[in-house]
């Protein structure tokens, strides 16, 4: 029997997080877990690829079950294979999902497709018997580097959290090996945020760098006011000041903030990313791009985004994806990105690294595990197995 996908399964699961903050109640968030089941055997076991829809987004079970998974299962199996016929072709699988879809309107659809796409790439690498990061490096003619820079994202607002609790949180990240930490801004007054920033900078001293994230809360006037305040400090970056599609705001902000800025996690296609590069006033020598493949139609689309960046003179090392998950870790290691986000204390069990992986001087080293390596993260794999059983 030729290689084929025999099933695409999805289940919606809650994200475990104790935080209720000024932005969102994480305790009510969900994630779509996807299993792509093939008829291939490796090591006496059926190859199953796993995926989910990154961290910080709700599950898309309806779209996956009713719209995209059926198109894969109804396709001619031969139309989903690569030229050798020995493995799946992720781009052909992606094309089957997007058959007869209209362009534009990038939103929840991109998350649903990205969840399945992650599972497909996991299966492809497992069939090849290689870690995904090494497979990607080989396909792109580059040397894989299993060491990936990671930073610790946190610093959320929540009731009863004072400056001492914020500083203790940031200190805990340093104790776990991180050299860059990130905190939220925009949930209190600008004076209060200045106080919080100065408290954290005093706490971490010369041992780490601080990034700040506004989660798109500001209009232009507020974004500029914060820029004038933030430029008093040597920050790692000023992230997502305004609405992600307000390219004019982002471009205007550069005149008031000479330091590094970061954005892109809420852009969900290579077309939106291209408009950011064309019109957002970003500077290729200092700014950072945070596109998250799992939220933006998956790795197939993310590679189109990377190709666009190269055409516009951007180094892929300016990309540090949002999400803190193992898929982006593999992409960073395989394609030479600048690093990856990490959530040490939230978005579990989806975020984080394989068991036993330690952060050393701001870097983690990926183990040589077939596929994305989910099987080595026991808390995550325990619920992934339920989907495929």
* Segment 196-221, tens digit of pLDDT: 999 999 999 999 999 999 999 999 99
Distances (CA, A) of 129 to 38, 47, 113, 125, 274: 14, 10, 24, 6, 34
* One-letter-per-residue 3-state SS of 56-73: CCCCCHHHHHHHHHHHHH
Rounded to two decimals, the pTM is 0.96
Each residue's pLDDT tens digit in the chain (389 positions)?
589 999 999 999 888 765 555 556 666 788 999 999 999 999 999 999 999 999 867 899 999 999 999 999 999 999 999 999 999 999 999 999 999 999 988 888 999 999 999 999 999 999 999 999 999 999 999 999 999 999 999 999 988 899 999 999 999 999 999 999 999 999 999 999 999 999 999 999 999 999 999 999 999 999 999 999 999 999 999 999 999 999 999 999 999 999 999 999 999 999 999 999 999 999 999 999 999 999 999 999 999 999 999 999 999 999 999 999 999 999 999 999 999 999 998 888 999 999 999 999 999 999 999 999 999 999 999 999 999 98
Could you tell me the two tokens for 184?
């939220």
Separation between Cα atoms, residue 289 and residue 267, nearest integer Å = 10
Nearest to 193 by CA among 152, 232, 220: 232
Q: CB 68: neighbour CB atoms within 10 A?
A: 25
Q: CB 270: neighbour CB atoms within 10 A?
A: 21
Q: CB 256: neighbour CB atoms within 10 A?
A: 15
Could you tell me the two tokens for 97?
């999902």
Residues 4/38, Cβ–Cβ less than 8 Å: yes
Dihedral angle over CA of 292, 353, 50, 40, nearest 10: 130
Active-site residue identified among 270, 322, 325, 377: 322
**Cβ burial, residue 28 (10 Å; 0-12/13-18/19+):** exposed
Q: Residue 21's pLDDT is what?
A: 54
Dihedral angle over CA of 106, 109, 111, 114, nearest 10: -100
Separation between Cα atoms, residue 98 and residue 78, nearest integer Å = 17
Q: Catalytic residue at 184?
A: yes
Q: Residue 14's pLDDT is what?
A: 85
Active-site residue identified among 13, 130, 184, 377: 184
Could you list the beta-strand ranges (E) of 84-239. Answer: 147-153, 180-184, 209-213, 237-239
Contacts of 140 (CB under 8 A, 6+ apart): 334, 335
Could you list the beta-strand ranges (E) of 15-76. Answer: 30-42, 45-52
Separation between Cα atoms, residue 49 and residue 161, nearest integer Å = 40
Separation between Cα atoms, residue 261 and residue 235, nearest integer Å = 9
Residues 124/90, Cβ–Cβ less than 8 Å: yes
Nearest to 343 by CA among 364, 325, 363: 325
SS3 content of the chain, % helix, strand, coil (to 5): 40, 20, 40
Element (H, E) at 365: strand 363-365
Element (H, E) at 162: none
């Amino acid at each position: 029997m030729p290689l084929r996908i025999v099933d695409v399964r999805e289940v919606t699961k809650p994200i475990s997080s104790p935080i209720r903050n000024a932005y969102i109640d994480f305790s009510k968030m969900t994630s779509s877990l996807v299993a792509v089941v093939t008829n291939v055997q490796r090591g006496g076991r059926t190859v199953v690829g796993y995926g989910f829809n990154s961290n910080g987004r709700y599950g898309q079970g309806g779209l996956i079950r009713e719209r995209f998974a059926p198109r894969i299962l109804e396709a001619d199996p031969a139309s989903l294979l690569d030229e050798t016929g020995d493995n799946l072709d992720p781009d052909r699988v992606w094309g089957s999902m997007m058959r007869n879809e209209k362009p534009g309107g990038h939103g929840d659809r991109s998350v649903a497709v990205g969840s399945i796409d992650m599972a497909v790439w996991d299966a492809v690498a497992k069939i090849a018997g290689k870690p995904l990061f090494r497979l990607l490096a080989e396909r792109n003619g580059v040397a894989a580097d299993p060491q990936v820079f990671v930073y610790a994202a946190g610093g959320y607002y929540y009731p009863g959290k004072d400056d001492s609790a914020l500083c203790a949180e940031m200190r805990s990240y340093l104790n776990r090996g991180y050299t860059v930490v990130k905190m939220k801004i925009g949930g209190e007054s600008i004076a209060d945020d200045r106080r919080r920033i100065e408290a954290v900078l005093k706490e971490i001293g010369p041992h780490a760098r601080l990034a700040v994230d506004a989660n798109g809360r500001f209009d232009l006037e507020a974004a500029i006011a914060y820029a004038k305040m933030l430029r008093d400090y040597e920050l790692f970056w000023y992230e997502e000041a305004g609405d992600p599609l307000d390219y004019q705001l982002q471009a205007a902000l550069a005149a008031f903030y000479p330091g590094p800025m970061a954005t892109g996690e809420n852009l969900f296609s290579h077309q939106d990313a291209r408009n950011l590069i064309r019109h957002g006033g970003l500077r290729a020598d200092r700014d950072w791009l945070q596109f998250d493949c799992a939220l933006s139609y998956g790795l197939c689309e993310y590679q189109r985004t990377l190709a666009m960046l190269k055409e516009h003179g951007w180094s892929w090392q300016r990309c540090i994806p949002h999400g803190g998950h193992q898929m982006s870790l593999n992409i960073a290691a395989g394609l030479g990105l600048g690093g990856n986000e990490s959530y040490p204390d939230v978005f579990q069990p989806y975020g984080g690294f394989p068991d036993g992986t330690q952060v050393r001087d701001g870097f983690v080293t990926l183990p040589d595990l077939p596929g994305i390596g989910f099987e080595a993260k026991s808390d995550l794999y325990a619920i992934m197995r339920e989907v495929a059983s």
